[in-house]
Amino acid sequence: MKKIKLSMTKQIMIAVVLGAGAGLLFGEKIREIRLLGDIFLRLIQMSVVVLIMGAVIEAVGNLKPQELGKLGAGILFWFSISTVLAAAVGILLGKLLTPGAGLTVKISGSGTKAAESSVSEIILEFFPENIISSMAKAEMIQVIVFAILFGIALGIVREKQGTSSIMGIVKEFNAVVLKMIQIVMKAAPLGIGALMAYTTGTAGASILLPLAKFLGAFGLGALLHLTMCIVFTSVYCKTNVLKLTRKLSKMTLVAFTTTSSAVSLPVKMKDSEEKLGVSKRISGLVNPLGMTLNSNGLSMFLALACLTISQIYGIQLDLHMLVKVVALSSLACLGTVVVPGGGIMALTIIVPGLGLPMESIALLSGIDWFSGMFRTVLNVDIDALAAMLIAKKAGELDREILNR
């Protein structure tokens, strides 16, 4: 008899359904099962800081110094603008549609309320004073800023010396951390199922309603953000918006059906060069780099998730916290896109960073596959559009291919 193998996504979805059913069936009696979920979240959290730091250092350190000049500035500019804009759209939709409203769940632990800060103090908090302290406190924005600067310096030293033993150590270290996460992720169905059972057992069936509203809001946001980016790119590159939309259709379909940026990469690169007119040099640099460093879909998902969670638990987010949501949503994407369970991993970064309840991660993990469809489309399509914008600026956009 042939053994049936279920993907991790299917295992998590089954665990979520079983956990929700068990919670509804047993109610408050099942609350102690939360221990299993908390252990799983701690195992994930313990490697988050080093995972992100290592992934960013490797991605930036692999760039050649000449690529860090005008071309690198262009890549950083378009990646940053689109990712921050995606997070802002997520915030806006969360405020307008309030997917988590109408339901208030008690927080089992203590939430963290941010102190009032001026704009200058908020900006200053992005930069580390002591990187060891930043790592110990899991101040992810500060850790990522350090990792970017370290990666730039490493790339310059590596190019000057012709080789770098540190880069080899970083790559091997990243491979070990990734393998450790893969081992921990095998327990994801058990941990997330336990958290789902606890949440539904203590809050009841009404907790499931915000999930449908969240997916609807996220789908609308993805469509809105992608439309804005396509229109802007068509105007900037002086091409027909409908023609550009048609040329993106194949990679869009592949991204939506596979929910994998890695699987979509070959199609994205091929269509960028053969349909969108991007040179091989620009496509070969921007598209793979975008897969790791530019994740509009995940950024919007995280921002909208934070607003939804705060509404479910009745937590007010002031301006300081909203700025932090945008910053964390944009930066938490770095290095998590290619990690198994990247959406869950990113949530474990941003949720505790904002003082939101950790058990809320189970709710959104249950619909991770569905939200992954929208996330991947945004990630893939906007990488291709960014490649067009950078190629246009560099004079490496073939208009004959683009307008064919």
| Per-position DSSP letters for 73-132, written without gaps between them | HHHHHHHHHHHHHHHHHHHHHHHHH-TTTT-----SS----PPP--HHHHHHTTS-S-HH
**356-384: average pLDDT:** 83
Quickly state the pLDDT bin for 65 (edges 50, 70, 90).
low
* 195 closest CA partner among 347, 48, 20: 20
* Domains along the sequence of the chain with CATH: 8-402 (1.10.3860.10)
Supply the pLDDT for residue 370: 78
- Cα(263)–Cα(113) distance, integer angstroms: 40
- Cα(401)–Cα(275) distance, integer angstroms: 6
| Per-position DSSP letters for 30-88, written without gaps between them | GGGGHHHHHHHHHHHHTTHHHHHHHHHHHHHHTS-GGGGSHHHHHHHHHHHHHHHHHHH
Supply the pLDDT for residue 245: 94
* Helical packing angle, 70-97 and 296-312, nearest 10°: 30
**Exposed, middle or buried, 232 (CB in 10 Å: 0-12/13-18/19+)?**
middle
Tell me the pLDDT tens digit for each residue of 170-216: 889 988 988 888 888 888 888 888 888 887 887 677 667 778 889 89
Examine the pLDDT at 124 and tell me if it is beyond 60: yes
Q: Which position has the higher pLDDT, 264 or 247?
A: 247
**Given its phi and psi angles, is residue 395 left (phi above 0), alpha (psi -120 to 50 degrees) or beta?**
left
- Fill in the amino acid letter for 130: N
As a whole-number percent, the residues of the chain with pLDDT over 70 amount to: 88
Supply the pLDDT for residue 316: 86
**296-318: average pLDDT:** 90
Question: CA angle, 228 as apex, 55 and 264 as ends, to 5°?
Answer: 45
Examine the pLDDT at 40 and tell me if it is beyond 90: no
Supply the pLDDT for residue 111: 45
Compute, in degrees rounded to 10, the torsion defined by CA atoms 151, 152, 155, 156.
-150
**Exposed, middle or buried, 63 (CB in 10 Å: 0-12/13-18/19+)?**
buried
| Per-position DSSP letters for 204-215, written without gaps between them | -GGGGHHHHHHH
Phi then psi dihedrals of residue 395, to 5 deg? 75, 25
Tell me how far CA of residue 233 lies from CA of 226, 241, 282, in angstroms.
Answer: 11, 8, 16
**134-153: average pLDDT:** 83
* Helical packing angle, 368-394 and 261-274, nearest 10°: 30
The predicted model scores a pTM of: 0.74
Chain center to CA of 64: 26
Q: Which position has the higher pLDDT, 332 or 97?
A: 97
Quickly state the pLDDT bin for 123 (edges 50, 70, 90).
confident
Quickly state the pLDDT bin for 110 (edges 50, 70, 90).
very low
* Token pair listed for 226: 């992608």
Looking at residue 334, the DSSP 8-state letter turns out to be: T
| Per-position DSSP letters for 246-304, written without gaps between them | HHTHHHHHHHHHH--HHHHHHHHHHHHHHTS-B-HHHHHHHHHHHHHH--HHHHHHHHH
Examine the pLDDT at 376 and tell me if it is beyond 80: yes
Coil vs helix vs strand at 340? coil
Supply the pLDDT for residue 237: 92
Q: Which position has the higher pLDDT, 23 or 217?
A: 217
Tell me the average pLDDT of the chain: 82
Quickly state the pLDDT bin for 112 (edges 50, 70, 90).
very low
Supply the pLDDT for residue 96: 92
Supply the pLDDT for residue 66: 66
Tell me the pLDDT tens digit for each residue of 309-367: 998 888 888 888 898 889 888 887 765 555 555 677 778 778 887 878 877 787 777 67
Q: Which position has the higher pLDDT, 120 or 152?
A: 152
Quickly state the pLDDT bin for 20 (edges 50, 70, 90).
confident
Examine the pLDDT at 83 and tell me if it is beyond 80: yes
Supply the pLDDT for residue 218: 94
